[in-house]
Amino acid sequence: MKPINLAIRFLLELCALAALGYAGYHAPLPEWGKIALAIAAPLGLAVLWGLFAAHKAKQLLPRFWKALLGVVLLEAAAGSLALVGQVELAVTFAAIIAANSALLYILKY
C-alpha cells in the first residue's frame, strides 16, 4: 500500500508543477507576465519542496510540520487552478491530495 501511495504522491507533485504553470499562463496579466509566472510559480514550488518537504530535504522538520507543509504546497497548486476558472479540476485535485496525504501520514511516511 505504501509504495502505491508514494507513487501517487510523486504524480501529484508533478501535477502540482503543471497546475502552477497552467495557472500562471492563464492569469490575467500581460503576455510577458503570464510567461514569467508560468515559469516562476512551478520553480518556486520545486525549490520549497526540495528544501523542506522532500523525503531527503536539506532542512529537517518534525514529521508533522513536514507533512503539513507538503499538503499546503500541493493544495496551493490546486487552488491556483480554481483562480483561473478550473474549479471542478481544482476540487478533484484537492480531494486526491487530501486523501493521499492522510494515507501517507497514517502509514507513517
Q: What is the mean pLDDT of each run of 10 residues along the chain (109 residues)?
A: 92 98 97 98 96 87 94 97 97 98 91
> What is residue 84's predicted lDDT score, i.e. its pLDDT?
97
Handedness of CA 49, 51, 56, 60 (dihedral sign): negative
Number of H helices, E strands in the chain: 4, 0
> What is residue 76's predicted lDDT score, i.e. its pLDDT?
97
